[in-house]
Structure 1
Amino acid sequence: MTVARIERAERPAEAHDVRILETADLRDSLRQGWADFVAHRGDLIFVGIIYPAVGFLAAVIALGGPLIPLFFPLAAGIGLLGPVAASGFYELARRREQGLPSGWSHFFDVVRRPSFDAFMAVTGLLLLIFFAWLVVAMSLYTALIGPAPESISAFATRLFTTPEGWTLIVLGNLAGLAFAALVLTVSVVSMPMLVDTDVDARTALHTSRMAVMANKGVMLRWGVIVAALLVIGSIPFFVGLAVVLPVLGYATWHLYTRAVVR
């Protein structure tokens, strides 16, 4: 790997240097992420269930009334908050890298990191993006189809058997891709960086953006891999996320260590 040479006019002064990545870095990051998961699975399978449980609860609530149209946006939008849920796995990977104890009791040690305030600031940004996605998704549904349906069957009928429903599927997926790309750019480096080092939110966000801009093709492939694994992990009822989320959390940490000059 080589360090990306970015002109000062294009590179914010506070951003850290970033490296040029290759597809092999993605494979190695996933391999190391799986190794971390295997090493900790006895301790962390319980922790890994917390996140899918929240997703399942959100889906149940959405299916219980006027929020039925938000079922798919909620299911898809869970991935937008994945970097926040994975913060404990970044911390465990950091501790393992440094030869420190890294059992489940250290999962929430991220709150003791010196950049935790900045971490919460970026978390707030990701929450805003998540709620903006829900607003856009509901607005599209209302504009194309109308009021919320009375039942799940009525919702499915409108969605899959009408031209408006298929238009909603296409536009909703395009909007979802835009939000996913935004979250990837914002978080792929910034969240593990804030767990790893004492920097402010601005520095972490700028560095994340520069890493993505310097590795557009590789990061696009990483985004596709993440999306595919999250979809697989969400079927059925989000239970697979108990494995997918830790693996992706650890793998993202290893990708970060390759992408940024620490």
Structure 2
Amino acid sequence: MSEDTRTTVPLARQEPVIRRIGRADIVDALSAGLRDFQAYPAFGLFFGGVYALGGIVILACAFLWDLLYLVYPLAAGFVLVGPFVAVGLYEVSRLREQGQVPSWSGVFRAIWAQGGKEISWMAFVTIFLFIIWMYQVRLLIALFFGLHGMPAGGFPGVLFTTPEGLAFLAVGHIVGAVLATVTFSLTVVSFPLLLDREVDFISAMITSVRAVVSNPAAMLGWAAFVVLMLFTAALPAFLGLVVVLPVLGHITWHLYRRLVG
């Protein structure tokens, strides 16, 4: 093979190395995330407030349009877009990790710079998953309660005192758990990886799934912790998310650093 021919052969892109982590790594990431939030709480409270406000607006629309039976699935599905909202928090942790002082202009400039890049496609993926989440809820309502949907009045009684309602709750939670696990696997590493490196969003999702598959116990334990924290934070009209989202966002960055070499 000639020298000219050899120089035209592209080098294969090396896949990110996935590390094995354990409980100690998650504890270290928790501590580092809390320190980031304590060091720069204003950023966390801002992005947490934006996220909480979005949830409040969605629930207000459900009440306004008399769709009370969609309040719970809307609240649960809204969690799926959390990783996208936390991009600014990843940037704060990244800058602090490099010994830099985060600034509002620098953080927003970093977020704005992602427009039209791979992270925008990843955001589309999360929104698409949220739409799928709501469609599966509507499908299950039609399957168990007919095309007319759930009765507008007395729906809590219908859910908890009728065979159709109990079956709907059981199947809905199973399907929701599967979809939430898929979403978690696709996004837990994707957003911080795309912010940190020049990779395409498909490779980022593959890397994220590889990280979960390589560390099933640790990652599923982390997922359960995230769900518990978000559920608890959402109970007081989403107001708890003002603090919980930024803390989880900072922790996720440090968990990504321990997962991906």
Query: Would you call these one fold, judging by a TM-score over 0.5?
Result: yes
Paired position in structure 1 for 2:161:
161
What are the ranges of 5 or more consecutive residues in structure 1 without an aligned counterpart? 1-11
**Deviation string for 1:170-196 (max 9, x for gaps)?**
111111111111111111111100111
- Which residue does 1:249 correspond to in 2? 249
Relative to structure 1, is the Cα distance of residues 148 and 244 closer, same or farther in structure 2, using a 3 angstrom cutoff?
A: same
Is 1:258 paired with 2:261?
no
Task: Verify the 8 A CA contact 1:87 1:191 in the aligned structure 2.
Answer: yes
Q: 2:115 and 2:214 mapped to 1: Cα distance?
A: 25
Matches within 5 A, 1:16-35: 16-35=16-35
Q: Does structure 1 conserve the Cα–Cα contact (< 8 Å) formed by 2:22 and 2:218?
A: yes
Alpha carbons 1:66, 1:150 under 8 Å: kept: no
The 10-residue stretch of structure 1 (63-72 or 215-224) with the greater mean CA deviation from structure 2 = 63-72
Describe the SS at the equivalent of 2:32: helix
- Give, in whole Å, the separation in 2 of the partners of 1:104 and 1:154: 48
Provide the rounded CA distance (Å) in 2 between the counterparts of 1:114 and 1:166: 44
| Residue equivalent to 1:62 | 62
Cα distance in structure 2, aligned partners of 1:116 and 1:188: 21
Equivalent residue runs for 1:1-262 within 5 Å: 15-65=15-65, 67-113=67-113, 117-146=117-146, 147-149=148-150, 151=152, 154-261=154-261
Q: Is the CA contact 1:187–1:208 (under 8 Å) kept in the aligned structure 2?
A: yes
Q: CA RMSD in A?
A: 2.0
- Deviation of the 1:65 alpha carbon: 2.6
Cα deviation code 1:129-188 (max 9, x no counterpart): 11001000111112112334564x522222222221121111111111111111111111
Is this contact kept in 2: 1:67–1:148, CA < 8 A?
no
TM-fit CA distance, 1:235: 1.2
Amino acid of the structure 2 residue aligned with 1:259 = L
Q: Percent identity?
A: 35
Unaligned runs of 5+ in 2: 1-11
Q: Quick one: which amino acid aligns to residue 128 of structure 2?
A: L
Distance 1:93 1:37, change over 3 A: same
1:6: which partner in 2?
Answer: none
Q: Which residue of 2 aligns with 1:5?
A: none
Deviation of the 1:109 alpha carbon? 3.1
Structure with larger Rg = 2
Instruction: State the Cα distance separating 1:115 from its structure 2 match.
Output: 8.8
CA distance, structure 2, for counterparts of residue 229 and residue 89 of structure 1 = 17
